[in-house]
């Protein structure tokens, strides 16, 4: 099947690509671990000045591969377990990990950016979308809440009423709608090429300045990330333990076109 995530570093720019194109880069357990590993590698690399994250094939990421993840009953525990409430679990690390890096992270979006894919995109500092991008906070479709650490990014960019509407309805919106809601930074015909242009601009600036701006602005715009992560996980457990999810899961497992959230 090959690697789930590819990492290529050139001229101090790290190019990270989600690489499961045959499944629209849907998140299985191997991809969760692969993203976590790449973030860990980038955290240690002092030469990288900017990171670009994109998806191979026809879309950025179509969300959680429910059929694959639910094939093992222990996977849910592996995704949600954390030693301390305010720490990110595996499901959240693939989003919050980008926020914790000291360098700017640009998400280059195209095609499907749904559910878990939307959460990952919210972990970036910039989201540049191609015109064909469709976006959705899709978890409510399965009777779940968004629990992958995208809430801090959503909170920083989207007003409360629009955030609740997106999360409650699980509607799929196009790039123009997303731009109006401030869910993305801008629309470009070639999102990856535009991300590279922005990366080149950021390289021209002091890395210390970029790092301090990122840290300072995150602390000003949102200083409650640890509490948000705890609430995401706590309330997801409430959902899972408080109501029967078998109908939604059976639908996902029985319909090959409805594998992702």
SS3 content of the chain, % helix, strand, coil (to 5): 50, 15, 35
**Torsions phi, psi for 16 (to 5 deg):** -110, 125
pLDDT in tens, 192-242: 999 999 999 999 999 999 999 999 999 888 777 667 666 666 667 567 666
| Domain residue ranges of the chain, discontinuous segments joined by + | 5-254
Q: Residue 84: what pLDDT?
A: 63
Mapping DSSP onto H, E and C, the string for 169-227 reads: HCCCEEHHHHHHCCCCCEECCCHHHHHHHHHHHHHCCCHHHHHHHHHHHHHHHCCCHHH
Q: Residue 115: what pLDDT?
A: 94
Q: What is the DSSP letter of 27?
A: B
pLDDT in tens, 132-191: 999 999 988 888 888 888 999 999 999 999 999 999 999 999 999 999 999 999 999 999
Are 67 and 26 in contact, with CB atoms under 8 Å apart? Answer: no
CATH number of 5-254: 3.90.226.10
Distance CA 104, CA 52 (A): 9
- Better-scored residue on pLDDT, 68 or 95: 95
pLDDT at 260 over 70: no
Tell me the pTM.
0.88
Region 106-127: mean pLDDT is: 97
């Amino acid at each position: 099947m090959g690697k789930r995530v590819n990492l290529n570093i050139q001229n101090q720019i790290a190019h990270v690509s989600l690489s499961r194109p045959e499944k629209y880069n849907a998140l299985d357990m191997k991809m969760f671990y692969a993203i976590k590993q790449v973030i860990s590698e980038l955290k240690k690399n002092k030469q990288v000045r900017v990171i670009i994250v994109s998806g191979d094939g026809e879309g950025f990421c179509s969300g959680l591969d429910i059929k694959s993840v639910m094939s093992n009953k222990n996977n849910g525990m592996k995704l949600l377990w954390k030693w301390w409430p305010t720490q990110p679990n595996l499901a959240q690390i693939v989003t919050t990990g980008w926020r914790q890096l000291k360098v700017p992270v640009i998400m280059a979006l195209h095609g499907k950016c749904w559910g878990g894919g939307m959460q990952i995109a919210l972990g970036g500092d910039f989201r540049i979308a191609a015109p064909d991008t469709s976006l959705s906070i899709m978890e409510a479709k399965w009777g779940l809440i968004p629990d992958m650490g995208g809430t801090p990014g959503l909170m920083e960019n989207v007003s409360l009423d629009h955030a609740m509407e997106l999360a409650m309805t699980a509607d799929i919106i196009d790039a123009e709608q997303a731009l109006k809601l401030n869910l993305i930074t801008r629309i470009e015909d070639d999102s990856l090429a535009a991300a590279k242009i922005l990366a080149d601009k950021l390289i021209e600036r002091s890395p210390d300045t970029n790092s301090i701006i990122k840290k300072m602005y995150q602390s000003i715009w949102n200083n409650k990330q640890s509490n948000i992560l705890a609430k995401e996980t706590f309330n997801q457990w409430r959902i899972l333990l408080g109501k029967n999810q078998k109908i939604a899961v059976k639908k996902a497992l029985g319909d090959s076109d409805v594998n992702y959230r």
